[in-house]
Structure 1
Amino acid sequence: MRITRIAASKLAMTVVAATVTMTLLPATVATAQPEAGSVVGVEALSAAATLPGSARAERLLYRSTTVGDQPTTTSAAVYFPPGAAPEGGWPVIAWAHGTVGLGDDCAYSVAGPGAVERDWAYLSTWLRQGYAIVAADYAGLGGPGEHPYLNGIVEAHNVVDAVRAATDRYTDLSTKWVVVGQSQGGGAAVFTARYATEFGGPDLDYRGAVGTGVPAYIEDVLQLLGPGMPPIALSSHLSAYVLYILNGLRTTFPDLDIEGLLTDSGRTWLDRAQTTCIGPLGDELSDAKPSLGSMFARPLSSIPNLHGLLSSYMGLPESGYDRPLFLGQGLRDTDVVTPETLRFAAVLVANGEPVTVRTYPTDHNAAVNASLVDSLPFVQSLFA
């Protein structure tokens, strides 16, 4: 039954996307497309995707942007705190979630978070503080097309457009908002922080951002991928992240012929990653223990101007932030390259950006909740 509901939702969203982009007037004159942030549907959330403690929760379908600035339809979960909204409406936390996978049944608003205990504890804390939460799925997750994993500009558009759609739909939401994200979502929060004012325009009152477990300078590390890598099995999550990144590159830059760089084994794993959520994919990789080197027939660096291409795709902006940014990092985090994340924070400080940096003696998963002691008052000051 769950697969049937997901397939039905996918079909409905595809029909919506096709309708708004392909409906024709006489001859060949196309109708105007709905603007980014326009609501095109509302659905009930599954129990798995409903935040405990929320007084009301719904799934929004809305228009946004994907690869190549192309319009698309995507989705978001919206959670309301209990009680009556304050004057001016509930202030909004835009939640940028971590890696869940690439398949439609992995979408946050369909299956809920992969790290349920971690994320529900975190989001419930914000809810109890009187914030409504708008959790974007990102383009291609639970909607038409493929998800361009770690494409920061696309994710920023999706987060901003989710806030616009929610505040237009619900009159008890304030236009005052911040973005908060972890892991993949930490990077999405940083990109959103850089472009929120530009993408949101005067109708939204963006106040600042929180990012934890932010993956920084991944473009530097990816240049080392190839058949010459030592034949050792990395952690299953790291291998899954690489496969998701390769899928994201394939989606964003189809002319690169990513498959042509891979062995038969690599192509099999790449296709598997395209539809498999992070938990099951990690389990499969843990059982099979393939080395990354065995997946490559040629080095990734054989792509011309690889570093420039990767930087344009996932390189975190080092300047141009117009609102305060909080970065929290676990010092025992091995899911991201912690020294690179701290390097990014140092670059922002050196560039005079409005950044606050805190570290915690935790791993990747624990940092998000450990940061609350600092990020809660940080966000409260933004709304004050």
Structure 2
Amino acid sequence: MKAPFFTRHLLAAAIFSSVLGLSACGSDSDSSDSYQNSRVYLSETTYSLNQGDYQVTNANSIKVMSYNMPGVAGKNVKATAMVMTPKGEKPKDGWRMVVWAHGTVGVGDSCAPSKNGFTNNRFSAMADQLLAEGYMIVAPDYEGLGTQGIHPYLNLGSEARSAIYAVNALKEHYKTDIQGNWMSVGQSQGGHAVLGISEYAANDASYKGTVAGAPASSLGYIITQVAPSALQDLVNKGQQEVAIEAYAELLAYAAYTAVGIKAYQPDFDYQSLFSERAAKVAVNAEGTTGDNGICLTDLHDQFAADIRNYLRSNPNQTVLNYPGLDTAEFASNQTLQKFLAYTQPATKKLNTPTMIIQGTLDLAVPFPVTQSLVEAQVKLGSNINFQPVVGASHTQAIVTKRPELVAFIKKYMPAQ
């Protein structure tokens, strides 16, 4: 499936917002990883939306599991994950598990993957192939998506714990049906998440490896150097519509990020990061309760419409003149700046084998940024399998490298 127009032209957008978003992660306390709960698993219901062009066909059952996990605010919270069991005979010692970490959808509960049908083959085709090989699939919604509370968007620790405690819940509930070993695969926001999983599960002997597609990194550099010049370049080339779509996407991600900070700092005034005009759109990311915010496509469309209205009313202005983010407030906001300095995935040697997939024409996560991350990890002594995909975009690369992805999982965690 071809990516939406605005997704294909994002040299600044998704990454800019990722930078801003990661600022929410700085409040994480390592003490939350000592969380103990006699009951992690809570319940399961049947997933009933497996239909349409991208349905998963090789699952014997698909459930939506509820479980407990430590939240970013320091309290236990309820989370959800899809659980897919394969057809065919179970291995004698139980199933191995593959965690899928999804990309950006929004922060409102209606955006949770478990509340929607499958909309692309990045997940469904990969899931079908892994299920056919005999792996169980675990797909967390992430903290606050589909459950009470604001989703702390792009919070590295929260993403990691959403996966780790989903796995713990499955081990608790399925007992001898589970062999125990697991790996993780993620794309975009999920690429960032699985690098977090690798860090937070470093002492878990049952965690066997990571596949990260287009993971966000070096975000401070990107926001200060790449994003402004990229939008200006689009304007200079006369690609106004592309620039509008890219800027709208940037603002949508920035809004989710800013709202996500409220998950652990409820009094955070995220509207101050935007102009008065843009703030009126940004509030729709949160909605009226924090649980009823609108999802990515709709928020993007609202920002794009407002940018077009601004240009119609100000015909002598360009996209860059649209009053979006308040750059002065962004630069001086201590909550944001602290986190920009704090957060960067894969800063330590990764303990398990890691495949990193990256398209050379990725306009959301530039190839040189991921290449630098890989080179730094190699110097640290990490076992990195780098898979550049020449000519591939942000969403194409992981689809193109699906055979290599599956082979990597089979190598380091045979299904039986």
Smaller-chain TM-score bracket: 0.7 to 0.9
Residue of structure 2 in register with 1:233 after alignment = 244
State which of 262, 270, 276 in structure 2 corresponds to 1:264: 276
- Counterpart Cα distance in 2 of 1:119 and 1:304: 37
- Counterpart Cα distance in 2 of 1:67 and 1:89: 33
1:10-159 correspondence runs (5 A): 35=37, 38-48=40-50, 51-113=56-118, 115-159=119-163
- Structure 1 letter corresponding to 2:301: D
- Structure 1 letter corresponding to 2:351: D
When the two structures are superposed, what TM-score results if normalisation uses the length of structure 2?
0.76
Deviation string, structure 1 residues 263-308 (Cα, Å, up to 9, x no partner): 2222222211231112222333343336575123434111137444
- Counterpart Cα distance in 2 of 1:133 and 1:377: 16
- Structure 2 letter corresponding to 1:262: F
- Counterpart Cα distance in 2 of 1:36 and 1:329: 40
Is 74-83 or 290-299 further displaced after alignment? 290-299
Are 1:182 and 2:187 an aligned pair?
yes
- Counterpart Cα distance in 1 of 2:38 and 2:373: 31
**Equivalent residue of 2:59, what SS?**
coil
Say if 2:142 and 2:162, in contact at 8 Å, map to a contact too.
Answer: yes
Shift in Å, 1:123: 1.6
Unaligned runs of 5+ in 2: 1-34, 236-242, 287-292, 309-318
- Counterpart Cα distance in 1 of 2:164 and 2:50: 24
Residue of structure 2 in register with 1:375 after alignment = 405
Say if 1:43 and 1:59, in contact at 8 Å, map to a contact too.
Answer: yes
- Counterpart Cα distance in 1 of 2:189 and 2:345: 12
Shift in Å, 1:192: 0.2
- Counterpart Cα distance in 1 of 2:184 and 2:254: 26
Deviation string, structure 1 residues 58-78 (Cα, Å, up to 9, x no partner): 111000122144321100000
- Structure 2 letter corresponding to 1:125: Q
Say if 2:360 and 2:366, in contact at 8 Å, map to a contact too.
Answer: no
Shift in Å, 1:253: 4.2
State which of 280, 289, 310 in structure 1 corresponds to 2:340: 310
- Structure 2 letter corresponding to 1:244: Y
- Structure 1 letter corresponding to 2:359: G
Residue of structure 1 in register with 2:170 after alignment = 166
* 1:349–1:342 CA distance, 2 compared to 1 (3 A): same
- Structure 2 letter corresponding to 1:207: K
Say if 1:246 and 1:270, in contact at 8 Å, map to a contact too.
Answer: no
**Equivalent residue of 2:45, what SS?**
strand
Say if 2:159 and 2:197, in contact at 8 Å, map to a contact too.
Answer: yes
- Structure 2 letter corresponding to 1:108: P
- Counterpart Cα distance in 2 of 1:380 and 1:140: 32
- Counterpart Cα distance in 2 of 1:276 and 1:176: 36
Residue of structure 2 in register with 1:282 after alignment = 300
Say if 2:281 and 2:302, in contact at 8 Å, map to a contact too.
Answer: no
Paired residues, number: 344
**Equivalent residue of 2:131, what SS?**
helix
When the two structures are superposed, what TM-score results if normalisation uses the length of structure 1?
0.82
- What RMSD over aligned residues (CA atoms) do the two structures have, in Å? 2.6
- Counterpart Cα distance in 2 of 1:157 and 1:68: 13
Is 361-370 or 63-72 further displaced after alignment? 63-72
- Structure 1 letter corresponding to 2:393: D
Deviation string, structure 1 residues 76-99 (Cα, Å, up to 9, x no partner): 000011011111111100111111
Residue of structure 2 in register with 1:334 after alignment = 363
State which of 386, 389, 394 in structure 2 corresponds to 1:364: 394
Residue of structure 2 in register with 1:15 after alignment = none
- Counterpart Cα distance in 2 of 1:262 and 1:336: 24
Identity of aligned residues (%): 27
State which of 289, 297, 319 in structure 1 corresponds to 2:348: 319
Shift in Å, 1:45: 1.1
**Equivalent residue of 1:57, what SS?**
strand
**Equivalent residue of 1:139, what SS?**
coil
Shift in Å, 1:319: 1.0
Shift in Å, 1:211: 0.6
Unaligned runs of 5+ in 1: 1-32
- Counterpart Cα distance in 2 of 1:81 and 1:237: 37
- Counterpart Cα distance in 2 of 1:64 and 1:218: 28
- Counterpart Cα distance in 2 of 1:143 and 1:264: 30
Residue of structure 2 in register with 1:244 after alignment = 256
Shift in Å, 1:37: 7.0
- Counterpart Cα distance in 1 of 2:138 and 2:270: 34
